Amino acid sequence: MNEERYILFDQYLQGELTVDERSNFEKQLNEDPELASAFESFKEMHFQLDNKFGIETEREAYKENLSRISDKYFHKKKNKVVSLKPWYFAAAASVAIMFGLFFFDYKHYPNFEDYNHPESAYFTERGVSEETLKKAEDNFNGKRYEKAIPFFEAILKENNSEEIKYFYGVSLLQVGKYVKAETIFRELEAGNSVFKEKAKWNMALSKLKQGKYKECQEILQTISQDFEDYDDVEQLLEELN
């Protein structure tokens, strides 16, 4: 990822974009899964930064030191110093801090992307439009989750199946619609379908993605050892401990 992306991410999180710039950025997130994934990773590192540097004066002092380092690597091009806006220095320092965290003796929290491996969907539902079903399946498997969501919603109006609800919930999670996603997963968890334990796992992933590590850990401890991906559950629990 280049530094321009980091700057844009930082500006968005700090509320420094204009209304039009913010709208355009959010549109890009909806249309570009790779960009959305990179932004989620940036937010997780940003969250960790806030946790690691709770004392503002220490954080600012550290950023000041790193801004001098970032000046060397980010502010030169073809042996000429580039004139940049003031916010660039803070953004560059933030980036340096985030990468620098992994070289110091701080607790490194697990990353959502390391465990984010949605299974492919192959629907055989009855009583719904085959065309709509196919579009939902193709968009989901193509990781175009934002586009898949309205197709799932249309299908659920005709057939409120556990399978469709599950993949709908996963799609919502992928695009950061946590409240809706967790509502779906709770409904599935309360039932006795084959998606019960999968719903718990995705609920845990939702908490992980939001940086709610304690809640994530608590949910993981409720997952049955019969769950097909229980090895991942154990590994994530180990990282959280």
181 in Cβ contact with 172 (< 8 Å): yes
Q: Residue 164 sits in a domain of what CATH number?
A: 1.25.40.10
Render pLDDT for 214-223 as a digit per residue (tens, 0 to 9): 999 999 999 9
Please determine, for residue 99, whether its predicted confidence score (pLDDT) is greater than 70.
no
98 in Cβ contact with 52 (< 8 Å): no
Residues 75 and 119 occupy one common structural domain: no
Q: What percentage of the chain carries pLDDT values higher than 70?
A: 73
Residues 147 and 161 occupy one common structural domain: yes
Render pLDDT for 18-58 as a digit per residue (tens, 0 to 9): 988 888 989 888 888 778 878 887 777 766 665 555 445 54
Residues 141 and 76 occupy one common structural domain: no
User: What range defines the domain where residue 8 resides?
Assistant: 3-108
Residues 71 and 145 occupy one common structural domain: no
Q: How many angstroms separate the CA atoms of 74 and 85, rounded? A: 13
> 82 is written with which tokens?
């580039």
- What pLDDT, on the 0 to 100 scale, is given for residue 30? 86
Residues 137 and 61 occupy one common structural domain: no
**Is 164 exposed, middle or buried (CB count within 10 Å of its CB: 0-12, 13-18, 19+)?**
buried
Question: Of residues 236 and 106, which shows the higher confidence score?
Answer: 236
Number of domains in the chain: 2
- What pLDDT, on the 0 to 100 scale, is given for residue 4? 73
pTM for the model stands at 0.60
205 in Cβ contact with 112 (< 8 Å): yes
- What pLDDT, on the 0 to 100 scale, is given for residue 81? 44
Please determine, for residue 3, whether its predicted confidence score (pLDDT) is greater than 80.
no
Residues 8 and 48 occupy one common structural domain: yes
Residues 120 and 233 occupy one common structural domain: yes
List own/partner pairs for 49-58 with CB under 8 A and 24 or more apart. 49/94, 49/97, 49/98, 49/101, 51/211, 52/101, 52/106, 53/97
